[in-house]
Amino acid sequence: MNPWKELRRIDHEVYLLRHVSSLLGWDQETYMPIRGIEERAEQISLLETLIHSKIVSPATREALEGAKEQLDEEQFATEIGGESHVRPFTPIQRAAFLREWDRRVARASKIPTSLVSRMAYATSVGQAKWAQAKKEASFELFKPYLQEILILTRELAGALGFRETPYDPLVDEYEPGMTCAVLSPLFEQLRKDLVPLFREIVSASTVDDRCLHLPFPKEAQEEFGMRILQAMGFPFERARLDVSVHPFTSTLGADDVRITTRYNPTYFPTAIFGIIHEAGHGLYDLGFGDEIRGTILAEGVSLGIHESQSRFWENYIGRNKAFWTYWYPILQKEYLKDLSLVPFDTFLLSINRVQPSLIRVEADEVSYPLHIILRYNLEKALVEDSLSISDLPAAWNDGMVELLGIKPSHDGEGVLQDIHWSMGSFGYFPTYALGTLYAAQFYSSLLKDHPQVLQEIEQGKYGTIVQWLREKVHTLGKIFTAEELCRQITGSPIDPGYFLRYVREKYLHRIS
């Protein structure tokens, strides 16, 4: 048996099974009847167990080791079989493929299969319980399930192993190579600069954003959102838009990427910016190069880089003056006639209003990273067992006051607002802030590469942007690491300076 051929076969099977598992998850959040959850949890658990078993199987290890040797001997000729989905790799792709499989096998081998299945079950049930708890604003309802998930998470961190903190192997799952040794000082610096900057912006301007709180039927919002998606080149023959409690993007196939949003009938920015945000994720997953199609390399580099794409579209494009120069007249004329007497500047200030806010996904782009810093500190403490779950709601509220100067009136708009912990996704939140920083850095490069792009945005044209992102980020998939990619695109490693300069420029010099 040719080990390359065998490894490519296994790789593609895992690729397919992961998408099947994604369908189970997508359906659970969108269309599944409520009582389907019990068996769905079992189904997901079984799928995850199957995937895990396949990754750690002796056949996989053998193929991986064999492929590495063949790489050394440069015997690539027999690499590909007759399967249409297997395309030849370049040497760089081959090396990346082995790097990713090495990482995957190394991580998976440390995790007992029983833990995979217990975690899959606990989080599947946990998500349903979280949704109910959030609806009823009852942390008590969610508490035992979160406790169970946290215990399994600590078990997971222990199994993966760590030097300094059990949080490190968790964040590494989402942002390969990242550790608290890097994150903690980065976030501390960001906090020190951003908290006073945020306060300065808030006190420098008072915005009356009543124009955003107008009745706007769900169907019309959806239609407007679909129109923006079409302009962004979101390909509906390969993608969908649906509704879920918590917006997300899920990839169910190489040509099947689904985004969701939620509609607030009297506050349309929720849905519209949510759609633009998720479409940014979606375009990434729809843009992987043909040569890496159907392989482990057809994935985002890291969640931070993934989030850079969604934040890029949501904030740097979607909240841009040039963007609404095109869309505002259309919105006024065709969708929301109540806006016809609202001046453009009022609208623009409203959608860029900076203020202390409770809900992360609706936060302005300035205070957004502060929401993340709060979650980072809390979840790190939970994992390190220096904070108990009973004390979590109070710690949340205290942190909100400290960082944002505002306190939730109930847990539904506080500690229960995010789905992540119910999914067992500890270590995920930091990637949102990293994404924000990457996006600022990429945006700066785009403007350098294409100085005319703002004029194109004013005409509702995004071809240059999509093309640029595709070439610089999307087609490459997981070939390069986050650090390599950031250096390639911007000439420097991740640097919060870009974001802070963008904020100062936009909010203290231009808009206000």
Please count the other Cβ atoms lying within 10 Å of the Cβ belonging to residue 27: 15
**DSSP class of 31:** T
Beta bridge partners of 239: 257
Please report how the helices 430-449 and 180-204 are oriented relative to each other, as an axis angle in degrees rounded to 10. Answer: 70
Residue closer to a copy of itself, measured from CB, 39 or 290: 39
* Residue 232 binds to a copy of itself (criterion: CB under 8 A): no
Residue closer to a copy of itself, measured from CB, 22 or 422: 22
* Contact call for residues 117 and 48 (beta carbons, < 8 A): yes
CB of 478 to a copy of itself, least distance (A): 18
3-state secondary structure of 180: helix
278 belongs to the catalytic site: yes
Core vs surface per residue 214-235: b (16+ CB within 10 A) or e: eebeeebbbebbebbbeebbbe
* Residue 236 binds to a copy of itself (criterion: CB under 8 A): yes
Q: Which stretch binds a copy of itself (CB under 8 A): 86-94, 121-129, 170-178, 247-255?
A: 247-255
Residue closer to a copy of itself, measured from CB, 286 or 446: 286
Q: Which of 116, 229, 239, 363 binds a copy of itself (CB under 8 A)?
A: 239
**CA 88 to mean position of chain CA atoms:** 30
Q: Which of 136, 193, 242, 456 binds a copy of itself (CB under 8 A)?
A: 242
Q: Which of 278, 299, 307, 314 is catalytic?
A: 278
First to last CA, the chain: 67
CB of 36 to a copy of itself, least distance (A): 3
CB of 298 to a copy of itself, least distance (A): 11
Q: How far apart are CA 414 and CA 397, in angstroms?
A: 7
Task: Provide the mask over 20-39, with x wherever binding to a copy of itself is found by CB under 8 A and - wherever it is not.
Answer: x--xx--x---xxxxxx-xx
Core vs surface per residue 61-85: b (16+ CB within 10 A) or e: eebbebbeebbeeeeeeebeeeeee
Look at phi and psi of residue 137 and say left if phi exceeds 0, alpha if psi is from -120 to 50, else beta: left
CB of 199 to a copy of itself, least distance (A): 46
* Residue 17 binds to a copy of itself (criterion: CB under 8 A): yes
Would you say how long the chain is, in residues? 512
Task: Provide the mask over 268-297, with x wherever binding to a copy of itself is found by CB under 8 A and - wherever it is not.
Answer: --------------------------x---
Torsion angle, alpha carbons of 474, 480, 486, 487, to 10: -130
Residue closer to a copy of itself, measured from CB, 199 or 238: 238
Residue closer to a copy of itself, measured from CB, 208 or 237: 237
Task: Tell which positions 395-454 bind a copy of itself, by CB under 8 A.
Answer: none
Which chain residues interact with a copy of itself by CB under 8 A?
13, 16-17, 19-20, 23-24, 27, 31-36, 38-40, 42-43, 46-47, 50, 85, 235-240, 242, 252-256, 258, 294
**Catalytic site residues?**
278
